[in-house]
Every structure is written in C-alpha cells, then in structure tokens.
Amino acid sequence: MHINAILPALVLHRTSAMRRPRWAWLRVAAAAAIVLAAAASTPPAHALWLLLEAPLVEEIVFRAGLQETLLRRCDSALLANVVTAFTFAAAHVAVRADVQAALTLLPALAIGLLYQRQRRLAPCIALHALFNAVWLLAA
C-alpha cells in the first residue's frame, strides 16, 4: 500500500486522548446556566429544576422518545421536528397557560434541529438549559 493512500486516514484519525469527554460541554453549559440563574436571583430549588432536571427529563421524553420515534417511522425529519416542537409547546401551555409557555415552540424547534443533526441528547440538554437560563434572566 502506498503512503499517499494511508496519509489521509492518519491525518483524519483522532485518538481517544484527543477527543473531549462526551459530557464536557454539558457540564460547562450547566455551570454557566447556574451562574446566570444566580444572577437573576431565582429561588435555588426552582433554578435547579429549570436548569438541570427539566432539560434532562424533557429532552429524554421529547427528543429520545417522541422525535426519535417519528424520525424512525416517517420520511420527513422536518415533520418529526415540527410535531415534536408543537407537542413540547402544547405540554408547556397545558401546565402554564400563558404566552411564554406558547413561545417555547421556537426554542423547541432549534433543539429539535440540533437533535435531528446530531442524534445525541447531551447537546440538546445543554442547549435547553441555556435557553432556560436566558428565560430566567429575562423574567
């Protein structure tokens, strides 16, 4: 085998030591979200729910559950994302019937697009926590 055939593979190959830990950016995002929530003077239990627990639970249910099922069963990734985002927003409206709950549709579409591209929960959980932190600061 000629070196020119092997060289691209060697250059593109990343060793396990070069990879970041799988959950590294989730930890960074969670830490940033906690700092942002502290700046917003949110009660700690509420901030913990919004920044850690809700993103974890909701992304498991809506991304790993509903969106993944729809991605496997229908031909349209866009349709899977839109249905999941509307369901996500409807669940928030059912719990808290106000405009802010309905506006969760927009971040849900963004998180759904991220899931559609990466098919991994960690980035979705981190982005969800970040959206919630921004919402806490704005409230």
pLDDT digits (tens, 9 = 90+) for 5-57: 443 443 444 444 445 556 666 666 666 666 655 655 667 778 888 888 999 99
Digit-coded pLDDT (tens) for 101-137 = 999 999 999 999 999 999 999 999 999 999 998 888 8
Model-level pTM greater than 0.75? no
Whether residue 3 is predicted with pLDDT greater than 50 in this model: the reply is no
Chain-centre distance of CA 64, in angstroms? 11
| pLDDT for position 38 | 61
Whether residue 2 is predicted with pLDDT greater than 70 in this model: the reply is no
Q: Show me where the domains of the chain are located.
A: 22-138
